[in-house]
Chain A
Amino acid sequence: MAFEKDFNLDATELRLGLPGTSEESEKQASTTLRISNKRAMTDMNEDSSVAADKKCDQETAPPTKAQVVGWPPIRSYRKNSLQTKKTEAETCGMYVKVSMDGAPYLRKIDLKMYKGYPELLKALEDMFKFKVGKYSEREGYNGSEFVPTYEDKDGDLMLVGDVPWGMFINSCKRLRIMKGSEARGLRCVV
């Protein structure tokens, strides 16, 4: 039903569960018992619609309880208002465009998905099918065909990796994967 789907954040949800484990199977009436040992595994981050399951909660006592429709009794308007603020505060620098010299169209990635530079670079390499060389503070990405760069808040073109990760996330406005030959001058900027 539509009103259940409103809370279905499966598509964007972060989970620890194995792919394929899902809370989706809850078309059941809320009074039925559901003893699921998947509960302990899946990360209950979503405030989505899961059938109320009071007995189950008491028996399995999972680390976090699945959220129940309409509980606690706060109107969605209020819930959404507070959540909007949280996510708006967190979206500073989250989704950035990524362009690659020579590629026909841009991509977009969510910087929050990555814990640090190694993961980010790996993701970019996979996405655009290229390899970066090893990064060093002195030499930048010496010896790579492509070099990851980014445009920061001030509009300057910077080399990815020079600043601490936290600072990078907050200041990165877009990413650009430049041809190695063009990027040579960037090492000297910092």
Chain B
Amino acid sequence: MSEDDERQRSPPSDLDFVSNKARNCNATGSGSGHPEFQSAYPDQVLENVLENVLHFLTSKRDRNAASLVCKSWYRVEALTRSELLIGNCYAVSPARVTARFARVRALHLKGKPRFADFNLMPPDWGAHFNPWALAMAKAYPWLEKVHLKRMSVTDDDLVALAELFLGFKELSLVCCDGFGTGGLAIFVNKCRQLKVLDLMESEVTDDDTDWISCFPEGESHLESLIFDCVECHINFEALERLVARSPSLKKLRLNRYVSIEQLYHLMIRAPQLTHLGTGSFSPPEIAGQGDQEPDYVNAFVACKSLVCLSGFREIIPDYLPAIYPVCANLTSLNFSYANITAEQLKPIISKCHKLQVFWVLDSICDEGLQAVAATCKELRELRVFPVDAREDSDGPVSDVGLRAISEGCWKLQSILYFCQRMTNAAVIAMSKNCPDLVVFRLCIMGRHRADHVTGEPMDDGFGAIVMNCKKLTRLAVSGLLTDKAFDYIGRHGKLLRTLSVAFAGDSDMGLKYVLEGCPKLQKLEIRDSPFGDAALCSGLHLYYNMRFLWMSSCSLTRHGCQEIARGMPHLVVEVIRSSDEEMDDAVEILYMYRSLEGPRTDAPKFVTIL
């Protein structure tokens, strides 16, 4: 799930570029000196050879490059590409996609921009899967895999997937909405070859349908069943039977309606699991029958292949010791729903020597982070979420924890850290101690908050990150920031692809520094910062190379955005308002993205496309 996966990295004019090349390539005689390209051989042979070679090409960047060589290569590449990644569902239409690519087996599609997750976008904005489902059904009946992120998927779409694609194997819905247990029920029932059903952080309506019971009888091909985000009761007996008849099941993530006792019964039936989401990890509300509680430790002992553990949705910490047997093998541990203290964490984390990915709540405090730093020398990714996500809440983690992590986990590549207090010194320390950082996302929850020791803006800290972390591609900034921070970013963030800005900067210069300095920028999301039309204009050279630009509650005017729209025909400039009021010149939300299709036809009333 990389960030840089748009099918077209270059401006949409690449199609024109190819036809120019074609004129040269198909000419008779070859002055190039390559024996394979002698005019005696017909194009067909060339294409066959190419086809065989290109089958081995999997990286989308390589494929994009190959498709630009000449018309032949373009054609053959299009025939052999089996996995499509479309980073913005509105950048290209289903018709265009199906016209170019002939044999697609897997489709990855992304819809809404990320800030929609935080209620900054009014609902029903778009990103409907339906037109894609219908187009795929006609063009790729052998489609096996669909991965959707931030799309609106209806029950009918789920039914279509199950009915129109006979060999359908894998469905993954991340941050999607629009469907319910009713649609799921039909989908799982009709998809006889289903291997993967992953529902992650999606909103699933409770239609009161027992979808677990709808899996067909007989041996199932299920390898992955993830439904921890589904907020409704499930039929446990049916689930138990399903797990029992799924010998290939490796990944199982339960929702919080599964008690620890039920978990036990599932685990002993599926000791081959590699990824487990434990559900609630607490006993059912009604006290169980009998005094005998199952031996949970034994269940974990039996799961010798377990490497990834998550869940703990309503954890009773007394049960934590049950997981000791698997700690030594864990590479990924997600405690981000478990409100536990440092003391409760320590006995666990001290055993997790191989841990590479750790998600946790700030309830563990700086002390807990120090314990992590002491043991987890292989840590690659850390995410620290707040228990109390408000600006003025107490901050149990701070610069102390961040520094400790930087000193203990030098292999760190990705960090997301929510806190209330931070210092430049700690951030600078991390920039020096963790040179492999690719993703640095620091969220100081109090807006405009300065370094709590020096009282200075956080400019130097973030400056050090872009200067010292040479592999950095994703950055999210926060705290009190002046234009100077953006100057640093523009000067040093040469590999930056994603930048998130909130409540930062002094003037247009801030945005200008970034737009003029970061050539690889793909995704820029800004909110509540004083950047206006002049700054927007300084990015014209960049916008066709970017996936999108989001600016909300900044200082843009409709007039300014209109200028951009006028000058760039392949850019869709959406002005979105969050209320019914008549639009005045001030722009609440600007969302603009390159597209081959021009303005979309499914835009709701609150969206104006300039």
Q: Interface of A with B (CB < 8 Å)? A: 1-4, 6-7, 27, 29-31, 44, 47, 49, 52, 54, 57-58, 64-65, 67-79, 81-82, 85, 88
Given contacts A47-B390, A71-B502, is CB(A31)–CB(B120) below 8 Å? no
CB of A25 to closest CB in B, whole Å: 13
CB of B33 to closest CB in A, whole Å: 56
- Nearest CB to that of B529 among chain A residues? A54
Given contacts A29-B586, A70-B120, A71-B502, is CB(A77)–CB(B339) below 8 Å? no
- Nearest CB to that of B446 among chain A residues? A65
B578 is contacted by which of A1, A67, A81 (Cβ under 8 Å)? A1
Given contacts A58-B448, A72-B445, is CB(A77)–CB(B201) below 8 Å? yes
CB of B32 to closest CB in A, whole Å: 53
CB of B205 to closest CB in A, whole Å: 14
Contact B553 A31 (CB under 8 A): yes
Contact B390 A67 (CB under 8 A): yes
Contact B203 A54 (CB under 8 A): no
Contact B339 A85 (CB under 8 A): yes
Question: What B residues does A30 contact at CB under 8 A?
Answer: 528, 553, 588
A-B CB contact pairs (8 Å), 16 listed: A3-B578, A30-B588, A47-B389, A47-B390, A52-B553, A57-B448, A69-B119, A71-B118, A71-B502, A72-B418, A74-B118, A77-B203, A78-B385, A82-B389, A85-B313, A88-B314
- In the assembled complex, B229 has its CB within 8 A of some CB on chain A: yes
Contact B123 A3 (CB under 8 A): yes
- Interface on chain B toward A: helix, strand, loop, or mixed SS? loop
CB of B446 to closest CB in A, whole Å: 8
Question: What A residues does B527 contact at CB under 8 A?
Answer: 70
Cα–Cα distance between A81 and B562 once the two chains are bound (Å): 42
- Nearest CB to that of A30 among chain B residues? B553
- In the assembled complex, B386 has its CB within 8 A of some CB on chain A: yes
- In the assembled complex, B337 has its CB within 8 A of some CB on chain A: yes
Question: What B residues does A58 contact at CB under 8 A?
Answer: 448
- In the assembled complex, B387 has its CB within 8 A of some CB on chain A: yes
Question: What B residues does A72 contact at CB under 8 A?
Answer: 386, 389-391, 418, 443, 445
Question: What B residues does A74 contact at CB under 8 A?
Answer: 118, 385-386, 389, 418
- Interface readout for B164-204 with A: 1 if CB under 8 Å, 0 if not? 00000000000100000000000000000000000001010
- Nearest CB to that of B552 among chain A residues? A30
Cα–Cα distance between A70 and B117 once the two chains are bound (Å): 8
Q: How large is the interface on B (under 10, 10 to 19, 20 to 34, 35 or more residues)?
A: 35 or more
- In the assembled complex, B284 has its CB within 8 A of some CB on chain A: no
Cα–Cα distance between A189 and B497 once the two chains are bound (Å): 73
- Interface readout for B94-116 with A: 1 if CB under 8 Å, 0 if not? 00000000000000000000010
Cα–Cα distance between A2 and B578 once the two chains are bound (Å): 9
Question: What B residues does A65 contact at CB under 8 A?
Answer: 391-392, 446-447
- Nearest CB to that of A47 among chain B residues? B390
Given contacts A4-B578, A81-B337, is CB(A70)–CB(B119) below 8 Å? yes
- Interface on chain A toward B: helix, strand, loop, or mixed SS? loop
CB of A65 to closest CB in B, whole Å: 5
Contact A3 B119 (CB under 8 A): yes
Cα–Cα distance between A73 and B122 once the two chains are bound (Å): 16
Cα–Cα distance between A32 and B220 once the two chains are bound (Å): 58
CB of A117 to closest CB in B, whole Å: 29
Contact B122 A82 (CB under 8 A): no
CB of A126 to closest CB in B, whole Å: 34
Question: What B residues does A79 contact at CB under 8 A?
Answer: 389
CB of A175 to closest CB in B, whole Å: 22
Contact A3 B118 (CB under 8 A): no
Residues of B193-250 whose CB lies within 8 A of A? 201, 203, 229
Contact B579 A1 (CB under 8 A): yes
Contact B391 A81 (CB under 8 A): no
Given contacts A67-B390, A75-B118, is CB(A27)–CB(B579) below 8 Å? yes
CB of B561 to closest CB in A, whole Å: 15
- Interface readout for B444-475 with A: 1 if CB under 8 Å, 0 if not? 01111000000000000000000000000000
- In the assembled complex, B580 has its CB within 8 A of some CB on chain A: yes
Beyond A57-B447, A72-B443, A74-B118: 7 further Cβ-contacts under 8 Å?
A: A2-B123, A3-B578, A31-B586, A52-B553, A65-B391, A71-B391, A72-B390
Contact B391 A77 (CB under 8 A): no
Question: What A residues does B488 contact at CB under 8 A?
Answer: none
Cα–Cα distance between A37 and B213 once the two chains are bound (Å): 58
Contact A73 B502 (CB under 8 A): yes
> Which 9 pairs, one residue from A and one from B, show the smallest C-beta to C-beta distance?
A70-B118, A30-B553, A72-B445, A74-B389, A70-B120, A64-B392, A75-B117, A73-B118, A65-B391
Cα–Cα distance between A92 and B123 once the two chains are bound (Å): 35
- In the assembled complex, B291 has its CB within 8 A of some CB on chain A: no
B391 is contacted by which of A3, A31, A67, A75 (Cβ under 8 Å)? A67
Contact B201 A75 (CB under 8 A): yes
CB of A121 to closest CB in B, whole Å: 31
- In the assembled complex, B264 has its CB within 8 A of some CB on chain A: no
